[in-house]
Amino acid sequence: MSLEMKIPAVGESINEVTIGNWLKQDGDHVEMDEPICEIESDKATFEVTAEAEGTLKIKAEEGDTLEIGDVLCEIEEGEGSGSSDNGSDSSDSSSEDSESKKKDSENKSEDKSDKEDKDKSSGSKSTGEVVEMNVPTVGESITEVTLGSWLKSDGDFVEMDEEIAEIESDKATFELTAEAQGILRIEAQEGDTLEIGDLICKIEVTEGGESSDSDDSDSSSSEKSESSDKKESESEEGYAKGHPSPAAAKILSEKGIKPEEVKGTGPGGRITKEDAQNAKKSEGKKETASKKEEAQAPAAASKGERNSERKRMSSMRKTIAKRLVSVKNETAMLTTFNEVNMQPIMDLRKKYKDKFKEKNGVGLGFMSFFTKAVCQALLEWPAVNAQIDGDEMIYHEYCDVSIAVSTPKGLVVPVIRNAEQLGFAEIESEIIRLAGKARDGKLSMDEMQGGTFTITNGGIFGSMMSTPIINAPQSAILGMHNIVERAMVENGEVVVRPMMYVALSYDHRVIDGKESVSFLVRVKELLEDPARLMLGI
């Protein structure tokens, strides 16, 4: 009997997905809930897991765009497994199955019985219960996420609360943990965009653990792998040799390469996706070389390679791009500048940094001074701490300061809550904690949402001056820059001072010029006289 598997609903607003890559090949034997492929949306990647045990028949190729409900593949379910006797060895069990199932005695049926007996000998016993795991709620305003990457593969044994995948929103990455112990069956692929509540995977609950008898499990696993590979090779030798998988066939067709021109390295000589990609790259290099020769025919040949690489944008990068363009188009953004003499703060840090660290366990950095100065100025100029909500203005009587942090996956802005109530040491500790979690991709949605004002420090990368973009729905952002010694005139004399340009980008719909300039001047005054910050004046 054939079971049709269709594209599952992966999010409330997601209507279509793209086939990322197949984890199994056409004709492979798959286990129930074993990950077979990855599907991608605009924000996440999800693994699709087999809904039954049997032989996989692929109906969609890698790179295809399918709508929700479209047929993804079929699984020809096997009949029986011969695994009722837990103590029998695999060859006897396979023989019993073959005799009792003479009408349907095929090599793949034998593969199935072997596989099931080996699984039982590994010390893990199925309870028959299947736990469905759905995309959890990760934030009040978050309706969809992107499946970033699977930390486990389809068919892997997972422990309760073990991390199995990473899901991404437009601001943060979250880890998904297993809700039960058992065999993982992936339903969504990496790159897929899912809505909250969509099915992401299933877990076939088992009793006992994969590690309960490690020696026997390893031996059984090895025997299982050897037996499976041998039978697959024997059963597919005639059909698979020189025959491309669906994904490989599509790649070869696009490149105009005939299957007989490609040597297959897969089981039984099957042409795999990697084989097709290698052939594609080979043809691509020839084509590129040909075009280059034509273009450079009139001129002297250039030296050196001219390689390029095309990569798919990550979901986070695409979201960042959309948000930045949206801010530019939907706000009346202006930037005002000033400069700050950093000598007083540098002298204060030099004098007390050792005692400060000894007492509080954290260093005394520039960010705590800027955060305190910003909070004081925000309380005095509340429009800078406000935001537009429809036809209304919301004025916040607290300061939730977002701190921009650069991570390998992009810029994120964790929030320091009620920063106006925190001391220097508390602010430094919170910055260290949030920045560390951001770089490790461990930030929660609560730690990313609700900021009322943002501080970004391009100076750590050497930026001299910039016009930072507002972090919507906030109305303003302060940009810090590099500290450079410059000649300044003080009391009629030229002196050298460590100076920093500061920039305030603001939404002119909310903040008038007087308020923006006055706010920035107040920040400058507080920074150039740190005693004001400590006394709150």
Strand 493-507 vs strand 173-177: parallel, antiparallel, or unpaired?
unpaired
* Average pLDDT value for residue range 81-91: 40
- CA 464 to chain centroid, in Å, comes to 32
**Cα-flanking dihedrals φ and ψ of residue 459, to 5°?**
-65, -25
Give the C-alpha distances (Å, rounded to integers) separating 523 from 310, 338, 385, 516.
44, 10, 14, 11
Least confident stretch, 147-151, 319-323, 337-341, 508-512: 319-323
Helices 343-360 and 513-528: crossing angle, nearest 10°? 70
Check residue 209 and give its pLDDT. Answer: 54
- State yes or no: pLDDT of 112 exceeds 90: no
* Average pLDDT value for residue range 289-295: 52
Q: Tell me whether the omega of the peptide bond preceding residue 344 falls within 30 degrees of 0, making it cis.
A: no
Amino acid occupying residue 45: T
- State yes or no: pLDDT of 435 exceeds 60: yes
Least confident stretch, 104-113, 390-399, 444-453: 104-113
- State yes or no: pLDDT of 93 exceeds 50: no
- State yes or no: pLDDT of 105 exceeds 50: no
- Identify whether the C-beta of residue 186 lies closer than 8 Å to the C-beta of residue 194: no
Q: Which residue is catalytic, options 89, 507, 508, 529?
A: 508
* Average pLDDT value for residue range 229-247: 55
- Reported as a pLDDT band with limits 50, 70 and 90, residue 170 is low
Taking Cα atoms as reference points, which of 183, 186, 229 lies closest to residue 210? 183
- Going from N- to C-terminal start, the domains of the chain cover 2-239, 246-292, 316-535
- CA 309 to chain centroid, in Å, comes to 21
- What sign results for the dihedral spanned by CA atoms 23, 25, 28, 33? positive
- Identify whether the C-beta of residue 277 lies closer than 8 Å to the C-beta of residue 289: no
Dist CA 439 CA 435 (whole Å)? 6
Question: How does pLDDT run across 10-29, given as a tens digit for each residue?
Answer: 766 677 888 888 888 888 98
* Average pLDDT value for residue range 346-366: 92
Residue 178, both tokens: 């297993």
Taking Cα atoms as reference points, which of 42, 43, 323 lies closest to residue 169? 43
More confident residue, 484 or 212: 484
- Reported as a pLDDT band with limits 50, 70 and 90, residue 294 is low
Domain 316-535 has CATH 3.10.20.600: no
- Reported as a pLDDT band with limits 50, 70 and 90, residue 4 is confident
Check residue 282 and give its pLDDT. Answer: 45
192 in catalytic set: no
- Reported as a pLDDT band with limits 50, 70 and 90, residue 94 is very low
Question: How does pLDDT run across 413-433, given as a tens digit for each residue?
Answer: 999 999 999 999 999 999 999
pTM: 0.50
* Burial readout 438-474 (b: 16 or more C-beta within 10 A, e: otherwise): beebebebebbbbbbbbbbbbbeeebebbebbbbeeb
More confident residue, 356 or 268: 356
- State yes or no: pLDDT of 118 exceeds 80: no
Check residue 295 and give its pLDDT. Answer: 52
Best mean pLDDT range from 149-153, 239-243, 481-485: 481-485
Check residue 529 and give its pLDDT. Answer: 93
Check residue 504 and give its pLDDT. Answer: 97
Least confident stretch, 163-167, 172-176, 276-280: 276-280
- Identify whether the C-beta of residue 273 lies closer than 8 Å to the C-beta of residue 247: yes
Mean pLDDT, rounded, of the chain? 79
Check residue 484 and give its pLDDT. Answer: 95
Least confident stretch, 245-249, 345-349, 466-470: 245-249
Taking Cα atoms as reference points, which of 4, 304, 23 lies closest to residue 155? 23
- State yes or no: pLDDT of 260 exceeds 60: yes
Residue 193, both tokens: 């965009």
**Largest Cα–Cα separation, the chain:** 105
Say if residue 141 is exposed, middle or buried (CB neighbours under 10 Å; 0-12, 13-18, 19+): exposed
- Reported as a pLDDT band with limits 50, 70 and 90, residue 168 is confident
Check residue 267 and give its pLDDT. Answer: 63
More confident residue, 104 or 332: 332
The per-residue DSSP string of 303-337 comes to PS-------PPPHHHHHHHHHHHHHHHHS-EEEEE
More confident residue, 450 or 523: 523
- Identify whether the C-beta of residue 125 lies closer than 8 Å to the C-beta of residue 206: yes
Check residue 500 and give its pLDDT. Answer: 96
Check residue 309 and give its pLDDT. Answer: 85
Angle at 57 between CA 55 and CA 62, to 5 degrees: 130
Dist CA 227 CA 240 (whole Å)? 18
Residue 386, both tokens: 């406000």
- State yes or no: pLDDT of 479 exceeds 70: yes
For the chain, give the number of residues: 537
Check residue 99 and give its pLDDT. Answer: 45
Least confident stretch, 218-222, 354-358, 416-420: 218-222
More confident residue, 477 or 448: 477
Least confident stretch, 148-152, 170-174, 198-202, 367-371: 170-174
* Average pLDDT value for residue range 21-46: 82
Check residue 116 and give its pLDDT. Answer: 47
- Reported as a pLDDT band with limits 50, 70 and 90, residue 217 is very low
Least confident stretch, 222-236, 326-340, 446-460: 222-236
Q: Which residue is catalytic, options 85, 104, 161, 512?
A: 512
- State yes or no: pLDDT of 238 exceeds 80: no
Check residue 87 and give its pLDDT. Answer: 39
156 in catalytic set: no
Give the C-alpha distances (Å, rounded to integers) separating 517 from 331, 387, 503, 514.
18, 18, 10, 5
- State yes or no: pLDDT of 111 exceeds 50: no
Check residue 124 and give its pLDDT. Answer: 60
DSSP category for residue 271? B
- Identify whether the C-beta of residue 315 lies closer than 8 Å to the C-beta of residue 42: yes
Question: What fold is seen in the domain 246-292?
Answer: Dihydrolipoamide Transferase (4.10.320)
Q: Which residue has the tokens 């000589």?
A: 269
- State yes or no: pLDDT of 57 exceeds 60: yes
- State yes or no: pLDDT of 286 exceeds 70: no
Q: How far apart are the first and last CA of the chain?
A: 79
Q: What percent of the chain has pLDDT over 70?
A: 76
Strand 392-395 vs strand 386-389: parallel, antiparallel, or unpaired?
antiparallel
